[in-house]
Structure 1
Amino acid sequence: MKKSALNNSKPWLILIGGVILFALLSQLINFRIDLTEEKRYSLHPATEEVLSQLTEPIHVDILLVGDNLPGGMRRLQKSIEETVRTFNAYSPEKITYSYFDPLSVAQTEQEAFIGSLTEYGINPTNLYVSQNTGQQAQLIFPGILVSNEEFETGALILKGERGMGPDEILNQSIENLEFELSNAIKKLVSPEESAIAMIMGHGEMSEDEGFGLVEALDGQFELFKVPLEQAQSPTDLANFKIIFIEGPREIYSDREIYLIDQYVMNGGNLVVMVDGVAVDISQAGGDGTFAMPVDSGLENLLFKYGIRVNKDLIQDLNFGYFPVMAGNFGNQDQMVPLPWPFYIQAGIMKDHPITKGLDVVYYRFASSLDTVLAEGVKKTPLIFSSDNSRILTAPVRVAFSDMEQEPPIEAFSMKNLPLAYLLEGEFTSLFKNRFLPEGFSKADFKESGSGKVVVFGDGDVFQSQRSLQDGSPLPLGEDPFSQFIFANKLLLRNMVQYLVDPDGIIASRTRTFQIRPLNKVKVAQQKTFWQFVNVLVPIIILLLTGSFVWWIRTQKYSRKIK
C-alpha cells in the first residue's frame, strides 16, 4: 500500500522538483529568444553598448497618459512600456518606469514645468477623444523623461513626416522608440566631449553669429569658432569631428580650400551650407531687388566631390510666410503674413537615419543642387521639395509686390527637387595633379581619402531667426511670426550623430515594424466563422482529447480487473 502511494506521488514530486530547478537556473542563466519576424524585442548592438555603460539605476517617466485614449495612442503607450522592459532585460542596472501626468503638477508650478518640457522638444498636443456626450479635447504630452539620481533629460516620442496618416505616424514613432530612449540614456551616462569647428572669417553665420548651432548642440559637443587663416596645417583641424561652413559671403583662398580638402581626405566630416545667390530681403519692398550670383570659392571643391550648387532660387507652393507692414490699425502697426514661395516648407524625406520621421524643415532662399560624376562617391538626397516647385535662374527678381497676385500653379511643374545631399565614400582631392598652395609639403599630401560631406543649397538652414519683439535669436527652427517650430534642430542633431558615428545608436532609426491591419471586408464576412473557431473549437478539442484519454484508461484497467 505504501509502495502504491509512493508511485502515485512520484510524478508530482518530479514536477515540483523540476519547477524549483527551473526557477534556480533562471536566476543564474539570463537569456531571451525573440521569435518576432522584425526582431521587435531585440536591440541594436550600439544600444546594448550604451546600456552596458550603466552604473546606476535609471527611471523613465511616461508622460503619455489620459483617460479614454484612442486605440492608436494606447498602442504607443504599451510600446513604450515594452521598450523599457526590453532595455531593462539587457541592462546591468535596473531600469524602471512609471506614469506621470504633467497636468497633475500644482497650478502655481504647472506653467513653468510645461515650459521646461518644451526645452526637450515635448510640446503638448490636443487630442480629440470620443465621449458619451460627443468629442472632447484632451491635452496630452507624447514624451518621456529619463533620470538618474543627479540629472534628467527628455525626448518627444510622437514624430512623423507631414502628409502621413495617423497610423503611419504612430508606427514610425514606435519604430523610433529604441533610438529616442537610448539617445536619452546616452546623454545621462556618457555626455559627448567631441569637438566641432565652425569656420569663421568669410561672413559666415552673419545672421545669428552661430547661436543656432550652439543652442542646438550645446551639452552634446564642444563647439569652437575657428578662423581658418590661423590654421598652419591640416593636422590643426584633425581633432574636430565635424567642420561646419555656414553661409559664407567672402571667397575662400586656395590655402584655406586646401586645408578643408585635406581634412576630408584624412577622414573628416564636412557640412557645407552655401547660397547660390545673394538676397537682401530688406530691399524687397517697393520695386523690389534682384538676387545675384555669389561665389564662395568652394565651387570647384564641391564639384570635385560630386555636387554643384546652382546659381538660382527654388520657389515652392508648399511655402512659408513673411510678415510685411500693411498700414496702421489705430495707432498700432499692422503686420500681415505674406505668402512667400522663396521660403520652402520641405516635408518629403529620404528613408535614411538622418531624415527618417522628420517633420517639416524650413528653407529660406534655397538654390537647387545637381550631382556630377565623382568615382567612388555615393550621393544620397536627403530632403526634397514638394510636387509643385520651380527654379528661377539668377538674376532673380525678389519683390513683395509680386506676391499680391496668386502665383500661377501651372508654372510650378517640377517635382521633388533635392534640397540636401549626403556624399560618402572615397573622395579624390581637388589638388591631385595640381601645384599645392605655398607653404605645404608634398610629402604630407593625400590624393584620396574616405570621408563624409553634407551639402545644403541654403546658407541659413541652421541659422536662427530673430524675435520680432526684441531682436534676440530664437531657438533653431522657430518661426518668429507663426511661432511654429520646424524640424531644423532635430535634423541638425540627427546629422551630427550620423556623421560622428554612423553605426551607433542613430542606426537604430532604420528599424521598421510592418503594420498589419485587418481586412475590414473579410472581418465583416467571416466574423461568425472566426468566433466559432476561437471560442468553440478549443472546447471541442479539449472534450475529444479528454474522452480519448478516458477511453484508453478504461480499456487498460478493465483488462487488468478481469
Structure 2
Amino acid sequence: MVRFKKKRPFNVLVFVLGIILINVGAQYFYIRFDFTKEKKFTLHPSTRTILKDVSKPITITVYLDGDLPAAFKRLKGATADLLGDYTAYAGSNIRYRFINPIAGLSGAVLDSTINNLYQNGIEPTSLNIKNDNGFAQKTIFPMAMVEGDGQGYAIKLLQNLDATGDYEENINNSIQNLEYLFTSAIQKIETGNHPRIGFTEGNAELSDQQLSDAITSLSDSYEVGRVNLDMIDKSGLDKLNMLVIAKPQKEFTEAQKYKINYFVMKGGSVLWSIDQVGAELDSMGRNAEQLAFNRKLNLDDMLFMYGARINYNLVADANCTEIPLSTGGTQGQIQMAPWIYYPLLMPDTSSILVKNIDGIRSEFVSTVDTIGVKGLKKSILLKTSPFNKVFTTPKLLSLQRKAYVAEYYPTLA
C-alpha cells in the first residue's frame, strides 16, 4: 500500500502568498476585464491612441463624492473605473481625485462656495431624498473638471436629468457617455485649439434659426459659423476643419462644387446632410396628401466620386416613430399614430461615432449605395430594420392610407 502525505498546509501557504503577490502587483498594474458581449467597458481604439499620446500633465477633479444615493454611487463607480483605465494608458500624465466640495460647510461659506463653483461651470443638482419624515433635499455635484496647459473644461457626468426624479435611466445613459466626454476634454487640452466648423449657405440650406440648437451645442467645443460658398476663397477654406451642408434645396454650381472638392482634397471633412427627395409633413393639404418630388442639387457626380450614391426614393419602415393626427369629431382630439416614412434608424454600436446611442428618428429618408472607390473606406453608421419597403419617387404620400406591418417583409435595404 502506498501512502500519500497530506500537503494541505503547504497548499494554503502557496494560496496566501499568491493573494499577497496579486495585491502587491495591483498597486503597480491596473487591469480590468470586460466580459460583456458588446465590450461596453472596453476603451475604443481611438481613445487609447489619444491617451498614449498625452504629453501634458492633466488633472481631473470629480466632484461626485460623499454620502450619495445608490444610483449616484453607481455613476461615481463607473467614473472611477473609466479614469483608472485612462491612467493605465496615459500613465502619470493623468491624475484624478474625487472630492465633495461642500463637505462640512454651512451658511454664508456654503453659499459662496456653491457660487464660485457655478462661476467655473460646476453646477449643483438638488435631489429629493425619501426618509422617515418624508423627503429631504440634498445638493450634490455630478460634475468634473479636466485641467491642463492653462485650460479647464467642466464636464456634466449626469445627462438629461429626469424631472420625475427617476434617475436610473438617465444614469445608465450617462455612464455610456462618460468615455466620449472625458476623451473630448483631454483631446482639447492636447491640441490646444478649437476646430472650425462652417455651415454652408447660399443654396437654401437650413436657416440660422433652424440650426440654432446645433450651433449652440457645438460652440462649446468648436468655432462655428456660416460659410457662403460663392464668397469664400481658398485661404478661407484652409482655415476650416469641417463643412456641414445642411439640407440644401437649390442646385449647386460647378464653381461651388470645385471649392468643396478643393476643401476635401486638402484634408477637410464634409458632413453631407442632404435630401434628394423633397417632402414635408406640414406641407400636406386638406386632403392629407403630398407629392414627394426629386430635388435637383447637381451633386450626384461629386458624391459618386466620393464612393456614395443617394438614391431618388423614399424608405418606409414598420419600425417607425409616431406623429400627431387629428381624429376629428367635435372635440378635435389628437392621437399619436405610426408614420412609416419616419423610420427609426438603428446605429452600428461598433463605431465610436454612434456608440451607446439609441434609435434615431429620421424623416423622409432615401437609401444610400456605397460604391467601390480605391483608397476610400466606408462605414455604415445607421440602418433600417429588416421590415422596410423602398418606394421610387415621385410618389403621392397620404395620411389616410393605413400601413400594416405584414406588408413590410425583410429586405436588404
Q: TM > 0.5 between the two? A: yes
SS at match of 2:205: coil
How far, CA to CA, are the matches of 2:188 and 2:249 in structure 1? 36
Give the C-alpha shift of residue 53 in structure 1.
3.1
Aligned CA distance change for structure 1 residues 99 and 83 (closer, same or farther; 3 Å):
farther
How far, CA to CA, are the matches of 1:263 and 1:187 in structure 2? 23
The aligned counterpart of 2:50 is 46
Aligned CA distance change for structure 1 residues 66 and 367 (closer, same or farther; 3 Å):
same
The aligned counterpart of 2:6 is none
Q: Letter of the aligned partner of 1:278 in structure 2? A: G
1:342-381 mapped onto 2 (5 Å cutoff): 342-381=341-380
The aligned counterpart of 2:266 is 266
Aligned CA distance change for structure 1 residues 143 and 276 (closer, same or farther; 3 Å):
farther
Q: Does 1:193 align with 2:197?
A: no
Q: Does 1:409 align with 2:402?
A: no
Contact 1:34 1:40 in 2 (8 A): no
The aligned counterpart of 2:301 is 300
Aligned CA distance change for structure 1 residues 338 and 361 (closer, same or farther; 3 Å):
same
SS at match of 1:252: coil
SS at match of 2:374: coil
How far, CA to CA, are the matches of 2:319 and 2:52 in structure 1? 41
How far, CA to CA, are the matches of 2:239 and 2:267 in structure 1? 11
How far, CA to CA, are the matches of 1:237 and 1:271 in structure 2? 15
SS at match of 1:379: coil
Identify which range, 336-345 or 184-193, moves more after superposition.
184-193
Contact 1:350 1:383 in 2 (8 A): no
1:305-344 mapped onto 2 (5 Å cutoff): 305-327=306-328, 334-344=333-343
Contact 2:30 2:84 in 1 (8 A): no
Q: Letter of the aligned partner of 2:387 in structure 1? A: N
Give the C-alpha shift of residue 157 in structure 1.
6.8
Identify which range, 387-396 or 38-47, moves more after superposition.
38-47
Q: Write out per-residue CA displacement over residues 124-147 of structure 1, whole angstroms, 9 at most, x where no aligned residue.
A: 999xxxxxxxxxxxx9x9964336
Higher helix share: 1
Q: Write out per-residue CA displacement over residues 300-319 of structure 1, whole angstroms, 9 at most, x where no aligned residue.
A: 10012111111111112222
How far, CA to CA, are the matches of 2:333 and 2:202 in structure 1? 39
Contact 1:245 1:273 in 2 (8 A): yes
The aligned counterpart of 1:62 is 64
Which one has a bigger Cα radius of gyration? 1
Give the C-alpha shift of residue 279 in structure 1.
1.2
Aligned CA distance change for structure 1 residues 307 and 327 (closer, same or farther; 3 Å):
same
RMSD: 4.8
Give the C-alpha shift of residue 258 in structure 1.
1.3
Q: Write out per-residue CA displacement over residues 435-482 of structure 1, whole angstroms, 9 at most, x where no aligned residue.
A: xxxxxxxxxxxxxxxxxxxxxxxxxxxxxxxxxxxxxxxxxxxxxxxx
How far, CA to CA, are the matches of 2:159 and 2:199 in structure 1? 32
Q: Across the two proteins, how many residue pairs are aligned to each other?
A: 352
1:363-512 mapped onto 2 (5 Å cutoff): 363-402=362-401, 405=402, 407-415=403-411, 417=413
Contact 1:313 1:342 in 2 (8 A): yes
SS at match of 2:377: strand
Give the C-alpha shift of residue 327 in structure 1.
5.0
Aligned CA distance change for structure 1 residues 261 and 152 (closer, same or farther; 3 Å):
closer
For structure 1, the residue ranges without an aligned partner over 5 or more in a row are 1-25, 127-138, 160-165, 418-562
SS at match of 2:97: strand
Aligned CA distance change for structure 1 residues 265 and 64 (closer, same or farther; 3 Å):
farther
Contact 1:155 1:184 in 2 (8 A): no
Contact 2:151 2:189 in 1 (8 A): no
Aligned CA distance change for structure 1 residues 40 and 317 (closer, same or farther; 3 Å):
closer
Contact 1:293 1:395 in 2 (8 A): yes
SS at match of 1:81: helix
Q: Letter of the aligned partner of 1:60 in structure 2? A: V
With normalisation by structure 1, the TM-score equals 0.52
Aligned CA distance change for structure 1 residues 146 and 318 (closer, same or farther; 3 Å):
farther
Contact 1:385 1:415 in 2 (8 A): no
Identify which range, 277-286 or 267-276, moves more after superposition.
277-286
Contact 1:63 1:144 in 2 (8 A): no
1:87-98 mapped onto 2 (5 Å cutoff): 90-92=91-93, 95-98=96-99
SS at match of 1:380: coil
SS at match of 1:204: coil
How far, CA to CA, are the matches of 1:65 and 1:316 in structure 2? 48
Aligned CA distance change for structure 1 residues 58 and 315 (closer, same or farther; 3 Å):
same
Give the C-alpha shift of residue 350 in structure 1.
4.3
Contact 1:310 1:368 in 2 (8 A): yes
How far, CA to CA, are the matches of 2:404 and 2:101 in structure 1? 51
Aligned CA distance change for structure 1 residues 238 and 291 (closer, same or farther; 3 Å):
same
Q: Does 1:250 align with 2:246?
A: no
Q: Write out per-residue CA displacement over residues 72-129 of structure 1, whole angstroms, 9 at most, x where no aligned residue.
A: x86664332233456568345753113689xxx99xx9xxx9xx9xx99x99999xxx
Q: Letter of the aligned partner of 2:204 in structure 1? A: G
The aligned counterpart of 1:443 is none
How far, CA to CA, are the matches of 1:414 and 1:366 in structure 2? 18
How far, CA to CA, are the matches of 1:80 and 1:285 in structure 2? 52
Q: Does 1:284 align with 2:284?
A: yes
Q: Letter of the aligned partner of 1:308 in structure 2? A: R
